A and B are shown apart, each in its own frame.
Chain A
Amino acid sequence: QQPVQSPQAVILREGEDAVINCSSSKALYSVHWYRQKHGEAPVFLMILLKGGEQKGHEKISASFNEKKQQSSLYLTASQLSYSGTYFCGTEYSGGSQGNLIFGKGTKLSVKP
């Protein structure tokens, strides 16, 4: 039931791009993306709803492919502040509203 995130970890140089994927074997209603820095709580990035939408702000965007039950998070021209662990939280169609099941996370390290 837990969504699968890939890659598990990625190291970037400042200015490089990255893609983080989140896949589910069950039909998704929504996908929520968070970034967590060490010792801190997760920070909400964005939510994507069923319907195959795309969203973005600044240099972080995401897409939701309903057919593939997959969401991807795109980080462009990465900054040092992007470092952290990225989690996707999935809400399943027909499931309890608001209950998120989180993936294991993708650790992103941006080096100068």
Chain B
Amino acid sequence: GAVVSQHPSWVICKSGTSVKIECRSLDFQATTMFWYRQFPKQSLMLMATSNEGSKATYEQGVEKDKFLINHASLTLSTLTVTSAHPEDSSFYICSARTDPYEQYFGPGTRLTVT
């Protein structure tokens, strides 16, 4: 149980375009999902908390207009990187929280902006 999927696994896009990443909890309902980014050999940095049916809560320094988060249902959250630039290239990972406390991570999406 507690499987989280992400799509796509990797994406290469041109600078200025937008990319959407999906995060799904496959066998449980997640009222809360989290989005992280991770640079090579570094730790996971929380970007935002996504709650079903409400606006996402962004961490300090994360541009909400650039990283659009939508939590459409109890099993799906999406992250859209708008007007992507090379510095947005990173490993993006989502996690979903089960009741009461455990968080399970998706397999991650590697974004490369050229």
Contact = CB atoms under 8 A, between A and B. Distances in A.
Interface of A: 2, 30, 32, 34, 40-44, 47, 49, 87, 89, 96, 98-105
B64 interface: no
Q: Which of B34, B43, B102 has the most CB of A within 10 A?
A: B43
B5 to A, nearest CB: 11
Contacts of B106: 41
- Size class of the contact patch on chain B: 20 to 34
A41 B103 contact: no
Given A98-B34, A98-B97, A100-B34, A41 B46 contact: no
Nearest to B109: A41
A6 to B, nearest CB: 14
A71 B95 CA distance: 22
Main secondary structure of the interface of B (DSSP, over half): strand
Contacts of B104: 44
A44 B102 contact: yes
Contact of A99 (B43, B46, B102): B46
A30 B57 CA distance: 21
Interface string B54-67: 00010000000000
Contacts of B108: 40-41
Given A99-B46, A102-B44, A43 B34 contact: no
B8 interface: no
A47 B101 contact: yes
A87 B43 contact: yes
Nearest to B94: A41
Contact of B103 (A32, A103, A105): A32
Given A98-B32, A100-B34, A44 B49 contact: no
A44 B103 contact: yes
A59 B42 CA distance: 27
A41 B105 contact: yes
Contact of B102 (A41, A47, A87): A47
Contacts of A30: 101
Given A40-B107, A104-B42, 6 more contacts: A43-B105, A98-B103, A99-B46, A100-B103, A102-B45, A105-B43
